């Protein structure tokens, strides 16, 4: 035999032997659910570079045979799971346990039902999606959530809007933004939430204290502002909204951009700017009511299923003019304003914002880390920092004209951690711990006595929640929370005020020293708050029932305890009371939801009994060096609130539908047997809709809003002595304005520019008939009408 042929045969035989020896490895394993460790049937395990594959059996086991001794990428997939890639190096037989996230299909199912963003299962919760929020890109959070039955607002003019949930507002309504509890001196009626609605992806409104994870003091409810979703794929997308309005000659720009990668990294940024000049009532200009607002936010992070982190920063700045005619110099001006049918100051249109005005800025920094543990759950750790600066400018003379009358700096640090135990999908637990420190610093260089003192505030909270799926149609939620609050204040009191309020007898130990006609005091208060909730969800074929009980406790805020002096932007003297104790709320509620074919019905009812309800009301007049001013005092009583909210919709044609949303609430002062102050009146909103997808997605809405007069109100009128006339006169600060009816019209059309880009153009006319009216819950109703007709146009470009 030829030697060359011989050696070729030998070499080929050796290679075959080597190959045969190196390609006989086995890869065995088991595929389990990441959460509860149960085996997954029917998962596919495939070698990425070949056709070799295996399918898991009923016990989750699989075997891949005849693998060569080289590094291989293995693809593991299942119809209900997120596909993953793993690498093996089969120098010898390999065994591996593989964990898959097995709830993807379930989550997609929920998303189709519109419930994926819900924070609770057994509370009265409503979600506003981004398509609704985008309509309010030039307005505020308070304006947007009035879309929900039972939610209204308490206003200072038309640009300072605070949400009211079932008759309660301010410190009783907790606001979360990007999982950060907003700390922005929310206690004042004229303090609007520092939130840019343009940065929200959706908003959840939870009525009552049904979300103990966020806080136990949300007697009114919780507003959760959720960011836009981030998708784990290599893409770049964004949205720009340009808006304009004729009333106030306002304009707005909002744009956001997101970059994500196939790897878990992502980056997103958002910026908005809004400006408007003096607004207009039907019969006159509203002088000095302009607004200038700018916001910016950015976030970046790394998100894998098993672990990840993110960082977030936002900056929000508002400059808001307050109606010039509302700046009364004394009680005689107030009487003249109430008796007049139009403002005392009416000037031509201007973009200038002069005193009285507010300048508010708010910064948030947040960092978060999470990690999932197999067959156990998920741990989250978060730190956030907030800085809130508030300046209120009064009309002042001479060299003080540019110095604010109120200048507050509020700094807050919060550290919190939660652990969600979800290995058993039928019994999910959540444990949480939070700690916070807050410092309030009022600038002493204002030349005005401090309305709110220096203080340090310490918070500690712990909670346990349980979510039990008793069967496919029955869900039970229970939870308990404990909060400790400590306030350590440095407060100056005029000796005459200290004695007038009887503090010299009850709180003499708080005096640190005397400085002239003032005492420097050091009040320190500790509050222990227990909150709990329990809810039941019952599902039927076309309907569901929710029953909920919530116990919540709220410590008094600094304004309620320490207010003492002339609040210039409110043009009144405000008096707190250091005797005020906790509020304790017992709220029961029930909901019925029915949906079948083209008809939907949702009815929500509640009863809330509050021991130690804290409120502020006028009690008389006090004369200062600047004149005589109304005195408003914080008081504490027992109260009850009852209400019903309904939402009915019916699609009576393929292209036509009608909806009605109505709210009724009644509030009683049980201590003095009279109605509560500032309770919203009956409101009913009816909407007729027409849609035609063939006309470039054309939509048209006609809205009719009826608001009745509030006939149940306390009589807080008082007599004041008018020095100029030498007579006493009745000051009517109580009588509500009459009922009113408004019509609005809105239409939009969508143009597909390309496969990935589209443009939506919308036109809205509010107060279509240019109706003159006044709203009971607007603090400036004494001085001017609400806004007249307004045309607004919006261009929304998705790319």
Question: Can you tell me the distance from the alpha carbon of 576 to that of 567, in angstroms, rounded to the nearest whole number?
Answer: 12
Q: How far is CA 569 from the centre of its chain?
A: 25
> Which has more pLDDT, 83 or 235?
235
- The order of strands in the sheet holding 173-177 is 124-129, 202-207, 221-226, 173-177, 180-181
Q: What is the pLDDT, as a whole number, of residue 460?
A: 97
pLDDT digits (tens, 9 = 90+) for 519-528: 999 999 999 9
361: which strand partners? 317, 389
- Would you say residue 105 has pLDDT above 60? no
- Would you say residue 601 has pLDDT above 90? yes
For residues 650 and 622, the answer to whether their CB atoms sit within 8 Å is: no
> Which has more pLDDT, 472 or 412?
412
593: which strand partners? 544, 602
Question: Can you tell me the distance from the alpha carbon of 124 to that of 589, in angstroms, rounded to the nearest whole number?
Answer: 8
Structure tokens at 458: 């310490």
State the average pLDDT over residues 482-488.
Answer: 96
What percent of the chain stands above pLDDT 70? 94
**Which residue has tokens 């989550």?**
107
For residues 369 and 301, the answer to whether their CB atoms sit within 8 Å is: no
Q: What is the pLDDT, as a whole number, of residue 339?
A: 81
Question: Can you tell me the distance from the alpha carbon of 535 to that of 598, in angstroms, rounded to the nearest whole number?
Answer: 29
> Which has more pLDDT, 51 or 11?
51
pLDDT digits (tens, 9 = 90+) for 455-471: 999 999 999 999 999 99
- Would you say residue 19 has pLDDT above 50? no
DSSP characters for 627-696? EEEEEEEEEEEEEEEEEEEEEEEE--SSSEEEEEEEEEEEEEETTTTEEPSSPPPPEEEEEEEEEETTTT
752: which strand partners? 758
Confidence of residue 123 (pLDDT cuts 50, 70, 90): confident
Question: Can you tell me the distance from the alpha carbon of 677 to that of 164, in angstroms, rounded to the nearest whole number?
Answer: 13
CB under 8 Å to 298, separation ≥6 — which residues?
Answer: 267, 268, 269, 270, 312, 313, 314
Structure tokens at 251: 């304009």
State the average pLDDT over residues 725-734.
Answer: 85
The top-scoring range by mean pLDDT among 8-17, 189-198, 266-275, 628-637 is: 266-275
User: How does the average pLDDT of the chain come out, rounded?
Assistant: 89
237: which strand partners? 258
Q: Angle at Cα 412 formed by Cα 409 and Cα 417, nearest 5°?
A: 170
- Would you say residue 111 has pLDDT above 50? no
| Coil, helix or strand at residue 191 | coil
Q: Lowest-pLDDT range, 207-216, 598-607, 728-737, 740-749?
A: 207-216
Q: Lowest-pLDDT range, 36-40, 278-282, 556-560, 633-637?
A: 36-40
Q: What is the pLDDT, as a whole number, of residue 625?
A: 65
- Would you say residue 5 has pLDDT above 70? no
DSSP 216: S
State the average pLDDT over residues 564-590.
Answer: 86
Phi and psi dihedrals of 779, rounded to 5?
Answer: -65, -20
Q: What is the pLDDT, as a whole number, of residue 210?
A: 66
Structure tokens at 764: 């809205």
Q: What is the number of residues in the chain?
A: 799
**Which residue has tokens 């030829």?**
2
pTM of the model: 0.87
| Coil, helix or strand at residue 429 | strand
Per DSSP bridges, beta strands 790-798 and 758-766 are antiparallel
State the average pLDDT over residues 304-318.
Answer: 94
| Coil, helix or strand at residue 618 | strand
State the average pLDDT over residues 253-274.
Answer: 93
**Which residue has tokens 């005689």?**
332
For residues 460 and 575, the answer to whether their CB atoms sit within 8 Å is: no
For residues 279 and 346, the answer to whether their CB atoms sit within 8 Å is: no
Structure tokens at 159: 């640009």
Tell me the H-state helices in 116-200.
130-133, 141-144
Q: Angle at Cα 392 formed by Cα 390 and Cα 395, nearest 5°?
A: 165
Confidence of residue 3 (pLDDT cuts 50, 70, 90): low
State the average pLDDT over residues 598-619.
Answer: 95
Residue 299, number of CB atoms within 10 A of its CB: 21
Question: Can you tell me the distance from the alpha carbon of 737 to that of 774, in angstroms, rounded to the nearest whole number?
Answer: 6
Question: Can you tell me the distance from the alpha carbon of 467 to that of 475, in angstroms, rounded to the nearest whole number?
Answer: 7
For residues 613 and 636, the answer to whether their CB atoms sit within 8 Å is: yes
End-to-end Cα spacing for the chain: 74
State the average pLDDT over residues 245-256.
Answer: 95
Per DSSP bridges, beta strands 718-722 and 758-766 are unpaired
- Would you say residue 569 has pLDDT above 70? no
Question: Can you tell me the distance from the alpha carbon of 155 to that of 135, in angstroms, rounded to the nearest whole number?
Answer: 20
Q: Angle at Cα 775 formed by Cα 773 and Cα 778, nearest 5°?
A: 130
For residues 639 and 667, the answer to whether their CB atoms sit within 8 Å is: yes
Q: Angle at Cα 44 formed by Cα 38 and Cα 45, nearest 5°?
A: 100
pLDDT digits (tens, 9 = 90+) for 348-382: 999 999 988 999 999 999 999 999 998 899 999 99
What percent of the chain stands above pLDDT 90? 61
Question: Can you tell me the distance from the alpha carbon of 576 to that of 561, in angstroms, rounded to the nearest whole number?
Answer: 5
Q: Is the dihedral of CA 747, 753, 754, 756 positive or negative?
A: negative
- Residue 197's alpha-carbon distances to 72, 137, 273, 589, in angstroms, are 49, 6, 12, 29
Confidence of residue 568 (pLDDT cuts 50, 70, 90): low
CB under 8 Å to 264, separation ≥6 — which residues?
Answer: 232, 302, 303, 304, 308
Question: Can you tell me the distance from the alpha carbon of 65 to that of 26, in angstroms, rounded to the nearest whole number?
Answer: 5
- Residue 751's alpha-carbon distances to 287, 747, 755, in angstroms, are 39, 14, 11
| Coil, helix or strand at residue 65 | strand
Domains of the chain by range and CATH?
A: 2-109 (2.60.40.1120), 124-224 (2.170.130.10), 225-798 (2.40.170.20)
Give the containing element (helix H, strand E) for 493. Answer: strand 474-494
Q: What is the pLDDT, as a whole number, of residue 2?
A: 56
């Amino acid at each position: 035999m030829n030697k060359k042929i011989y050696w070729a045969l030998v070499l080929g035989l050796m290679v075959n032997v080597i190959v045969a020896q190196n390609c006989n490895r086995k890869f065995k394993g088991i595929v389990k659910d990441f959460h509860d460790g149960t085996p997954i049937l029917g998962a596919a395990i495939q070698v990425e570079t070949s056709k070799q594959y295996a399918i898991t059996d009923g016990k989750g086991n699989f075997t891949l045979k005849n693998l060569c001794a080289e590094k291989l990428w293995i693809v593991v997939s299942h119809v209900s799971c997120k596909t993953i890639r793993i690498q093996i190096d089969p120098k010898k037989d390999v065994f591996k346990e593989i964990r898959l996230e097995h709830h993807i299909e379930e989550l997609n199912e929920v998303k189709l039902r519109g419930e994926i963003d819900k924070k609770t299962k057994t509370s009265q919760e409503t979600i506003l999606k981004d398509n609704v929020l985008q309509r309010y890109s030039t307005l505020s959070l308070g304006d947007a959530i009035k879309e929900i039955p039972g939610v209204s607002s308490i206003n200072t003019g038309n640009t300072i809007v605070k949400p009211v949930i079932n008759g309660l507002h301010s410190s009783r309504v907790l606001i979360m933004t990007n999982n950060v509890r907003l700390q922005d001196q929310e206690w004042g009626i004229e303090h609007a939430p520092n939130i840019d609605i343009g940065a929200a992806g959706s908003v959840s409104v939870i009525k009552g204290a049904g979300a103990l994870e966020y806080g136990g003091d949300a007697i009114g409810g919780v507003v959760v502002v959720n960011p836009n979703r981030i998708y784990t794929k290599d893409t770049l997308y964004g949205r720009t909204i340009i808006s304009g309005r004729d009333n106030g000659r306002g304009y707005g720009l909002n744009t956001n951009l997101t970059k994500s990668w196939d790897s878990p990294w992502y980056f997103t940024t958002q910026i908005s700017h809004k400006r408007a000049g003096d607004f207009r009532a039907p019969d006159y200009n509203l002088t000095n009511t302009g607004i200038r607002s700018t916001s910016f936010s950015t976030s970046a992070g790394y998100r894998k299923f098993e672990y990840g982190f993110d960082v977030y920063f936002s900056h929000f700045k508002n400059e808001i003019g307050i109606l010039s005619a509302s700046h009364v110099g004394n009680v005689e001006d107030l009487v003249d304003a109430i008796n007049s049918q139009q403002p005392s100051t009416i000037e031509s249109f201007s973009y200038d914002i002069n005193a009285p005005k507010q300048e508010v800025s708010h910064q948030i920094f947040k960092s978060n880390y999470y990690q999932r543990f197999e067959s156990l759950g998920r741990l989250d750790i978060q730190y956030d920092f907030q800085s809130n600066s508030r300046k209120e400018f009064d009309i002042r003379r001479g060299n003080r004209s540019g110095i604010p009358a109120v200048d507050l700096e509020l700094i807050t640090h919060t550290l919190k951690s939660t652990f969600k135990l979800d290995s058993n999908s039928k019994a999910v637990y959540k444990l949480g711990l939070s700690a916070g420190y807050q410092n309030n610093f009022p600038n002493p260089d204002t030349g005005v006595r401090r309305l709110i003192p220096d203080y340090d505030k310490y918070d500690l909270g712990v909670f346990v929640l349980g979510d039990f799926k008793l069967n496919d149609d029955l869900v039970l939620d229970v939870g308990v929370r404990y909060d400790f609050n400590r306030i350590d204040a440095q407060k100056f009191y005029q000796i005459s005020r200290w004695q007038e309020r009887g503090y010299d007898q009850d709180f003499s130990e708080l005096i640190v020293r005397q400085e002239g006609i003032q005492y420097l005091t050091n009040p320190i208060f500790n509050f222990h708050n227990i909150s709990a909730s329990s809810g039941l969800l019952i599902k039927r074929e076309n309907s569901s029932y929710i029953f909920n009980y919530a116990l919540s406790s709220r410590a008094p805020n600094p304004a309620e305890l320490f207010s003492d002096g002339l609040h210039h932007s409110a043009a009144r003297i405000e008096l707190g009371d250091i005797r005020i104790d906790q509020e304790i709320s017992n709220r029961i509620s029930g909901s019925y939801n029915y949906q079948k074919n083209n008809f939907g019905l949702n009815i929500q009812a509640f009863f809330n009994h509050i021991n130690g309800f804290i409120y502020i009301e006028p009690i008389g007049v006090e004369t200062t060096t600047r004149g005589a001013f109304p005195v408003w005092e914080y008081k504490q009583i027992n109260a009850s609130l009852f209400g019903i909210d309904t939402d009915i919709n019916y699609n009576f044609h393929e292209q036509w539908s009608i909806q009605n949303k109505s709210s009724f609430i009644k509030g009683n002062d049980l201590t003095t047997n009279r109605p509560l102050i500032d309770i919203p009146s009956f409101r009913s909103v009816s909407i007729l809709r027409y849609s035609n997808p063939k006309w470039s997605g054309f939509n048209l809405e006609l809205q009719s809003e009826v608001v009745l007069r509030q006939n149940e109100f306390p009589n807080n009128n008082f007599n004041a002595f008018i020095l100029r006339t030498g007579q006493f006169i009745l000051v009517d600060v109580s009588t509500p304005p009459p009922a009113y009816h408004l019509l609005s019209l809105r239409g939009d059309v969508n143009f597909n520019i390309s496969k990935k880009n589209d443009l939506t153009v919308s036109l809205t006319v509010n107060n279509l008939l240019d109706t003159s009216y006044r709203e009971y819950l607007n603090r400036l109703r004494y001085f001017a009408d609400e806004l007249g007709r307004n045309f607004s146009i919006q261009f929304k470009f998705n790319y």
